[in-house]
Amino acid sequence: MKILAVTTKSPYPLNEGRALRTYNLLKQLARLHEVHLVSFVQSREEIDGLKVMNEFCGLVEAEPLYLNFLPLRIALDVLREPFSEAPLAVTKYATSGMRRRIKRLMDEHHYDILHLDMLHLGEYLPMGGRAITVMGQHNVESILLERRAERETRHLQGLYLRYQARKLARYEAEVCRLADRVIAVSEIDADELARMTDRQDIATIPNGVDTSFFEDYSGATVKPASLIFVGGFTWFPNLDGIEFFCDEILPRIAEKIPEVSLTVIGQNPDNAKTRAIAANPRVKVAGRVEDIRPFVAEAAVFIVPLRIGGGTRLKILDALSMGKAIVSTSIGCEGLAVEDGKSILTGDSAEAFANSVVKVLRDPELGRHLGEEGRQLVKSVYDWEVIGEKLGNIYKPHSFNS
């Protein structure tokens, strides 16, 4: 079949979870189908990165977004949002330039499938014409925003976030009803989308990992009492999670293990909150790195202290694939087939999380066992080639008639 995929940003470089998922799913689809890609681009890095997609996409086009006059564009979006049924998170992606581009490509190539990579592209569903429309859901976006609103301590900001979350929930339900097929990232998300839409055909394609790239590092030299956190600071849940860890969890660990240290890796760390985190003598903020593997390999524990989230976290899969011991909140590992005490340890309160970290740091054999179980799990369930087979079954022509 011939597929036109539309994305909110370039799937390359692979510097965040959204890009990793999109890149690998399109790569798997291209093994069986002819895939064309049109993507918004918001930076020179994305424009350059989009060239990589030519390796397996038959056609690649870029649609500029916010490349010029950024403050003015944002202000205009804020002003027009109250007059639209779409929430602010969606408004920015509804552009006349993308409409013209999609129409031209649909007219020229007569695609069998229009694949919209995120809910934020729902405005383009009506442009599918006779093509089958597929909506990819990286999260249940309205739940993600609701959870953020619950954590907001500023009154006016909290009110605005709750307003946007309600608007987003209505929009999300409507878009997922209109699409011919909806793909969720976990069974939890699929169940929630089914509840919102009253449809029972939500497909689940989990996030994955390249197990040959993120190979078993169990034999690497580990720094005693060392922890690592990986996550970009442009995503609010990551910033909230690392603040929670440094303010409430790390001091509890230090009471029992004074030599404990934490390395924080993630793009765009240059803001007041991350500078405050970096001021902690136990914490090193490394920012963005080209390859996280050496940093993860030398850490004793990989931490995921998220309190807000949805979908599934690809960085957990990377760490599992490397055979690392992981301590996470239940939200942090939500949607993954991990078992507490077998392939991961969990803790939701500051005290419980700290106790789990201390337990692993004091018992290297436990850490080794968790790492072995995690590695076996991702090889059997979450390797991208395994996921590619499942994705291929969904994209068989007869599956869209079921």
pLDDT tens, 222-245? 999 999 999 888 788 888 999 999
C-alpha span between 189 and 331 (Å, rounded): 12
Q: Give the other-Cβ count within 10 Å of 228's Cβ.
A: 25
Q: Which of 390, 240, 375, 361 is nearest to 309 (CA)?
A: 240
**Whether the predicted pLDDT of 307 surpasses 70:** yes
Q: Express each pLDDT in 11-37 by its tens digit.
A: 999 878 889 999 999 999 999 999 999
- The SS3 assignment for 280 reads coil
CA angle 140, 17, 195 (to 5 degrees): 15
Query: What is the rounded CA–CA span in Å between residue 108 and residue 89?
Result: 30
Helix (H, G, I), strand (E, B) or coil at 10: coil
Give pLDDT tens digits for 236-291.
888 899 999 999 999 999 999 999 999 999 877 667 788 888 899 999 998 888 88
Tell me if 332 sits within 8 A of 304, measured CB to CB.
yes
pLDDT at 146 over 60: yes
Is the pLDDT score of 312 beyond 60? no
What string of H, E and C letters represents the secondary structure of 305-365?
Answer: CCCCCCCCCHHHHHHHHCCCCEEECCCCCCCCCCCECCCEEECCCHHHHHHHHHHHHHCHH
According to DSSP H, which parts of 10-132 are helical?
Answer: 17-30, 44-50, 70-80, 88-91, 96-109
Strand order in 203-204's β-sheet?
59-64, 34-41, 2-7, 113-116, 132-136, 181-184, 203-204
> What are the CB-based long-range contacts (under 8 Å, 24+) for 331-335?
331/147, 331/306, 331/307, 332/241, 332/304, 332/305, 332/306, 333/304, 334/186, 334/188, 334/309, 334/310, 335/185, 335/186, 335/187, 335/188, 335/189, 335/206, 335/311
User: Per residue, what are the HEC states of 281-300?
Assistant: CCEEEEECCCCCHHHHHCCC
Q: How far apart are CA 175 and CA 18, in angstroms?
A: 20
Q: Which residues contact 73 (CB under 8 A, 6 or more apart)?
A: 66, 92
Q: What is the pLDDT of residues 341-393, one digit of tens each?
A: 999 999 999 999 999 999 999 999 999 999 999 999 999 999 999 998 888 88
Q: Residue 366: how many CB atoms within 10 A of its CB?
A: 15
Give the whole-angstrom CA distance, residue 387 versus residue 247: 38
Higher-pLDDT residue of 80 and 331 is: 331
Q: How far apart are CA 208 and CA 273, in angstroms?
A: 31
Higher-scoring residue by pLDDT: 144, 179 = 179
Stronger pLDDT, 218 or 395, i.e. the higher one: 395
pLDDT at 401: 62
- Non-local (6+) Cβ contacts of 375 within 8 A are 211, 216, 218, 320, 321, 322, 323
Residue type, 240: D
Nearest to 394 by CA among 121, 134, 158: 134
Give DSSP secondary structure letters for 112-166.
Answer: SEEEE-SGGGGGGGGGGTTSEEEEE-SS-HHHHHHHHHHH--SHHHHHHHHHHHH
Alpha-helix residue ranges (DSSP H) falling in 31-69: 44-50
**pLDDT value, residue 107:** 97
pLDDT of res. 236: 82
Mean pLDDT is lowest, of 80-89, 187-196, 207-216, 328-337, for 80-89
What pLDDT is attached to residue 373?
Answer: 96
- Domains in the chain: ranges and CATH: 2-208+384-401 (3.40.50.2000), 226-382 (3.40.50.2000)
Whole-angstrom Cα distance, residue 138 to residue 162? 21
pLDDT band, residue 299 (cuts 50/70/90): very high
Q: Is the pLDDT of residue 310 over 60?
A: no
- Maximum CA pair distance of the chain? 66
Tell me the C-alpha distance between 373 and 316, whole Å: 13
The span from the CA of 364 to the CA of 300, in Å, is 8
Residue 270: predicted pLDDT: 67
Reported as a single tens digit per residue, the pLDDT across 107-136 is 999 999 999 999 999 999 999 999 999 999
